[in-house]
Each structure stands twice: as C-alpha cells, then as structure tokens.
Amino acid sequence: MKKKMISFASLGLVCATFFLSCETENQHYEERLDAALEVPEKIISNAKAATLFQNDHTTRLSQIGKETTSFEEKSIYFDLQELTKYVNHLESVAVSRNIPITGASFVFGADANGKRTVFLMPSTRNASLDYQESFTIENGQFLTFKHIDQYLKVKPNSVTNENLILSSNGYLSFNEAVTLFNTYEINYIQPFAAKTPKEYYTKAVWYSLDEIKAYISYIKKKATDHDIAITGIDVFFGVYDTNPNLELKSNAQTLFLTASIQKHAIINTENELLKNYIQNGFFAKDDATDDEDESLAYNLGHLSPPPKNN
C-alpha cells in the first residue's frame, strides 16, 4: 500500500511538473506572441514622423503658396471604432462577394475650399498594371478608381449604397470621391509639378488589411497598458527625404498615422502632443529623439502611382 502511495505521489509530482512546464511554456509563447503583436513593423520613430511633417511643409506647402496652412488644417481624423468596423466590413465583403480584397488605400483629396483630406477605399491587385487598384460597388456595379490617372470622370446616378469609401466625415459615393480626387490634382499636384517635374506624383498610400488591423491592435493595446483615452487615428501628409537610396520614393509625398485623443494627435505613450513636439509650426525640436519603443506613429505604406520597384 505504501509503495502504491509513493507511486501515486511520484505520478503526482510528474504531472505537476508536466503541467507547470506546459503552463510556463504557454506563458512564454503568449509573451512572445504578445511581443510580436505589440510593435508592428512599420512603426516609425517620433523624430521620423516630425521630419516627414516638416518636409511636407517646406517642400510642398511652402512651394505652392500654402505656407500659412495651420497645424489643425493638416490633420485628418478617423474615429477608431468606425475605422475598425470599416476594416471588418471589407473582410465581410471579400467573403460574401468573393472579391480578393488585398488592402485599403488612403486616397488623397481636397475639398471645395482647398483643404487636403484623405479617404479610404478597398483595393485589389491589378496584375496587368502591377499596382493595388482601388474600387467600390454601386448599384451592383463594380467600379474601379484608377488613381494612376490624372483626372477621373463622374458616373451617372452615383450613390452611397455599399459603404466602401470611408472619409473622416462618413461614407462617400464614387462621384463624391472623384470630386475630392480631382480637386487635389488641381490644388496640389499641378502647382507642384509646374515647379518640380517628377516621374510620378503620389495620390494614394496603400496598406494591407493585416497591416491596418495590426496598427489598430497596437494602439488599442498601448491605450490599455498606459491608460490613454485613444479615440481615433490622425492622418498627416508627409514627404520623404531627398536621400538617393530611397530611389523613386526620394522627395515623394506620403502619409503617416498617429493615435489621437479627442482629436489631438499624440506621438508617444507619454501623451505628448505632436503639436508640442514640433516647434515653429513644423520644425522638429532639437531634442527630438529617434526612439521607436513608445512611438504611436505609423508609416512606410506603398505609394501610388507606384514606383517601378514598389
């Protein structure tokens, strides 16, 4: 009997050791997984975000007579819950309509007053042109939105019935998006092209759905970890440096995203406002760091029209 008790005790120790080992292994796995999810690949440093912001002012706005554009006019706010619902909606559409949605593009636009904006559109890969082509669906018709073209034409009877084009102020019809797109060409592309001829002029920035979801998960986790009341994402126009190693991205327009609390862009988990991180309206402060660990800024999307090697 004693031997049996010893055997059972030994078995218990083995089982306890086994389960403790499994629990430890699972814990380590979860920690590794959490770490992998915590910092998306395209998170950029605060200093890099500030530089992109500065470059936009000096190489674009100042060059086309819009140097008095205020900081507030440079921010495009998207509600976080609405953006999350939009990404989920695109995934549902991909399944229900059997459309290979590869991601979403932030397409550049400008309103009737000339203020820049962006709107989101689903995309699918155009194999013949080798780029991510935006599209929408209206009245059961699949409509491509070729932002590689200079201007787009409105369609008859355009209505918002599928909710596939998301702006900062709600959903847009195809024609409303076209109007914004064409106005951007008139107010921002053509004045700059007259001074700086380039092979292409960026009109959209593309991210895969997984990249957008990863960024949303990242800032939600940071909000929980640091008790930050993040309500949305602010989108800012930026411009890459003139570094020749960037090839066709050199001096190219881009976008960067950062978290927002009550429509005030924050650049890190210390709740530091991007506006306060910038001096004189657009210059990065001298003590700006290049630390990415607590950054909430996101960049490095694919530009469209795309560089030949993108």
Question: Residue 272: what pLDDT?
Answer: 76
Give the torsion sign (CA, 108, 111, 117, 121). negative
End-to-end CA distance of the chain: 74
Length reported for the chain: 310
Question: Residue 293: what pLDDT?
Answer: 52
Structural contact between residues 40 and 211, judged by C-beta atoms closer than 8 angstroms: yes
Domain-by-domain residue ranges, the chain? Answer: 1-38, 43-304
Q: Which residues pair with 236 in a beta bridge?
A: 75, 256
Question: Residue 275: what pLDDT?
Answer: 76
Show pLDDT as tens, one digit a residue, over the chain (310 residues). 434 443 433 334 334 444 445 455 555 544 444 444 455 567 777 888 888 888 999 999 999 999 999 888 999 999 999 999 999 999 999 999 999 999 999 999 999 999 999 999 999 988 877 788 899 999 889 999 988 889 999 998 888 889 999 999 999 999 999 999 999 999 999 999 998 888 778 999 999 999 899 889 888 888 888 888 889 999 999 998 888 777 777 888 999 888 888 778 877 777 777 777 775 444 444 444 445 456 667 565 666 665 444 4
Burial code (b: 16+ CB inside 10 Å, e: under 16) for 223-249 equals beeeebebbbbbbbbbbbbeeeeeebb
Give the integer Cα–Cα distance in Å for 105 and 171. 15
